[in-house]
Every structure is written in structure tokens, then in C-alpha cells.
Amino acid sequence: MTDTVFVLNGPNLNLLGLREPEIYGSATLDDIAGMLEDRARDLNLSIDMRQSNHEGHLVDWLHEAQAVGARAVLLNAGGFTHTSIAIHDAIKAVKTPVIEVHLSNPHAREEFRHTSFVARAARGTVAGFGAVSYLVALEAAARI
């Protein structure tokens, strides 16, 4: 196992800071990456941060995380959270612990967001704390 934590981000997360800041906050994905890298150094971890609007990339990266022996994966699958059996199956197929991350609390939002195929396969979920959700998930990854 390496000391690398993959941080995988799904569709539309490249628009953080611009897209609905009243829901997702004003931090950009680069801001979040910087926060994670700073905290990861303190935890003797490294971050491999990625974003894609394509479902298959997320599946491939989950496979890669296992292949390289990543310590854990923090996964914000965005809208794929509620629709992707492929991502669910990829999480189940790998031994690398996956922690689901959300900026907002999906259960406090529209009904269709209440179902998470990611949560059904992930080790745990951190949601509703804005960018801090990623930091809480990183702390968990350091301890599992």
C-alpha cells in the first residue's frame, strides 16, 4: 500500500466556485486540492486529485487506485452518485477503501438525490460540510 489518496471528482465539479455557490460554496476544485495537499502533508500522505465529466474515467481511476495500492479513494461522483451502477460495481470490485464525499447534504435536497449507488458500496460518507467534507474524509482515510 502506498501513502497516496486518490481524490476523484465527477461531472460539473470543474465548475466549483461558479456553479450555484449558495449550494456548493465559493471554493474552487483547485482551492480544495490545496487544502487537501496541506493537510495530507501533516498526515504523511500524498494526494492524487482528478476530475472528469465522463463516467468511464471514474471507473478506470477506481481500478487504477487498486492497481497502484492507493491507501484510499475520496470520491465525489457528482450526479453519477444517483445513477451509476457502473461506479457502484467498480467500488465493489476493488479492495481499496472508498469514502463518498459531497459538498452539500443530498438528503436535504431534491428527492432524486436521496438515492446513492456510491453509498451502497463505499466504506462511508461525508456530506454537507462544503469543502470541509473533503478534509473530514481525508482524516478518515488516514485512520483506516
Higher pLDDT, residue 104 or 137: 137
* Global pTM value: 0.93
pLDDT tens for each residue of 32-55? 999 999 999 999 999 999 999 999
Average predicted confidence (pLDDT) for the chain: 92
In the predicted structure, residue 112 carries a pLDDT above the cut 70 = no
Whether 53 and 12 have beta carbons less than 8 Å apart is answered as yes
Residue 65 DSSP class: H
Kindly indicate the confidence band of residue 16, based on its pLDDT and cuts at 50, 70 and 90.
Answer: confident
Please list, residue by residue across 67-91, b when 16 or more beta carbons sit within 10 angstroms of its beta carbon and e when fewer do. eeebbbbbbbbbebbbebeebbebb
Q: Which domains does the chain have, with CATH numbers?
A: 4-73+85-98 (3.40.50.9100)
Active site residues: 24, 102
Kindly indicate the confidence band of residue 108, based on its pLDDT and cuts at 50, 70 and 90.
Answer: low
Dist. CA 83–CA 5, nearest whole Å = 25
Q: What is the pLDDT of residue 78?
A: 93
Q: What is the pLDDT of residue 123?
A: 98
Give me the DSSP letters along 77-138. -GGGGGT-HHHHHHHHH--S-EEEEESS-GGGS-GGGG--TTTTTSSEEEESSTTHHHHHHH
pLDDT tens for each residue of 73-102? 999 999 999 999 999 999 999 999 999 999
